[in-house]
Amino acid sequence: MKALVKYGYGNGETELRDVPEPQAGDDDVLIEIQAAGICGSDLGFHLGEHPEYLNPPVVLGHEFAGVVVQTGRRVTAWKPGDRVVSDNTGYVCGECYACARADFLNCPQRLGLGYGMDGGFTKYVRIDGDILRKHPRCLYRIPDHVIYEEAALLDPACNAYKAVVQESHILPGDDVAVYGVGALGLFSIQMSRLAGAGNIIAIASSRNKERFDIARKLGATHIVYYDREDVVARVKEITGGELVALAVDCAGPNSVLKEAMDIVRAGGEINRIGFDAEAPDFSLDKLVNKGIALKGHFAYDIVSWRNCLKLLALGKLDTKSVITHRMTLSQWRQAFELVRSKQAAKVILTYDDIAEVRA
């Protein structure tokens, strides 16, 4: 079968290769991939970023959904034909403090599918019996009326759900600002709407105009262009001088954190999802002077997945609107370029011999 393999740590050391088809052992589950989303981190891995997470050679792709095609003889919880989505956990130790709390994403030995172990940019993925035993919720059934490409984007949706709904303390009517209109930013906008936020302010570059219609559809009440406007003055205008209760940083540059301290009201919150490898060169005293809570956010948990899957099944969570392009695995270079150039919000990849993936 074909697979998109990151074969080294360096920039561009990625190629479409022929690899052996995996087989399910006695305790394993084999999934045929029906839809896989390209995440910004997939692009980062391709470009040689975050090598600490990689275990090359490895098949990329951690946002995927598919159908069970084979189960081991000792597997009883899953059967061929089950439609499933993975939380991309491939291995955890099962013994550390995080695992004891079912906080598997923070297991220091965790290996994620798509960077630590083989992932979804291919035809088949094997889910190891060891992870099914330690973390049975690493797979979730997809309701029959939910299409595969919608389910494949539960990963970023759950990420945003945890940041906005589980970790923040906003009340219905509170104003929220979201930096960035990539997939995480767009889903954070939607989660703010679901949480009952009042004004939902998307802050992004004017170059991201392709994504602004999606942001508005998902709940943004205002768009502020940081490269054309005085962001702080504009936020004050929108909120009547009250500033926002929560700023969600899906962008990452330290300049965002610096500015966020100016647009968040006293006693408000900043949830930082984005990364910046450089140390801040400014004072954080405003956090103290204004009593602002700064939260470092990482991923999701079982509650995020259970609730987002329910919202998707009920038609209250829209993942489909974030999809701007659908391409085949053999078109991966064009697809990655669309992500790099920010022409795409989310690209769905399918294996080339899959004629229809939306069922």
**What pLDDT is attached to residue 277?**
81
Task: Tell me the C-alpha distance between 263 and 244, whole Å.
Answer: 6
Domain of 235: which CATH number? 3.40.50.720
pLDDT class of 86 with cuts at 50, 70, 90: very high
Task: Say whether both 163 and 136 belong to one domain.
Answer: no
Domain assignment present for 245: yes
Omega cis (within 30) before 51: no
Domain assignment present for 342: yes
Task: Tell me the C-alpha distance between 95 and 109, whole Å.
Answer: 10
Task: Say whether both 191 and 55 belong to one domain.
Answer: no
Q: Nearest CA to 32 among 73, 82, 95?
A: 82
223: its two tokens? 């768009």
Domain of 29: which CATH number? 3.90.180.10
The pLDDT of residue 359 is above 90? no
**What pLDDT is attached to residue 173?**
98
Q: Report the predicted TM-score, pTM, of the whole model to 2 decimal places.
A: 0.94
**What pLDDT is attached to residue 357?**
44
Task: Say whether both 136 and 42 belong to one domain.
Answer: yes
Domain assignment present for 306: no
Task: Say whether both 25 and 118 belong to one domain.
Answer: yes
Task: Say whether both 224 and 291 belong to one domain.
Answer: yes
Domains of the chain: total = 2
Task: Say whether both 268 and 191 belong to one domain.
Answer: yes
Task: Say whether both 146 and 171 belong to one domain.
Answer: no
Domain housing 242: 159-296
Kindly report the CA angle at 236 between 233 and 239, in degrees rounded to 5? Answer: 150
Mean of pLDDT over the chain: 96
Picking from 281, 296, 311, the residue at the C-terminal end of a domain is: 296
Domain assignment present for 264: yes
Task: Say whether both 8 and 141 belong to one domain.
Answer: yes
Task: Say whether both 9 and 34 belong to one domain.
Answer: yes
- Rounded to an integer, the average pLDDT of 96-112 is 96
**What pLDDT is attached to residue 354?**
57
Domain assignment present for 311: no
Is residue 183 within 8 Å of residue 175, measured between CB atoms? Answer: no
166: its two tokens? 């589980």
Task: Say whether both 36 and 77 belong to one domain.
Answer: yes
Task: Say whether both 206 and 165 belong to one domain.
Answer: yes
% of the chain with per-residue pLDDT over 90: 94
pLDDT class of 219 with cuts at 50, 70, 90: very high
Task: Tell me the C-alpha distance between 245 and 174, whole Å.
Answer: 6
Q: Nearest CA to 131 among 58, 53, 27, 59?
A: 27
Domain assignment present for 179: yes
**What pLDDT is attached to residue 208?**
81
Give SS3 for 300.
coil
**What pLDDT is attached to residue 268?**
98
- Rounded to an integer, the average pLDDT of 343-351 is 96
Domain assignment present for 307: no
pLDDT class of 275 with cuts at 50, 70, 90: confident
Task: Say whether both 163 and 147 belong to one domain.
Answer: no
Domain assignment present for 309: no
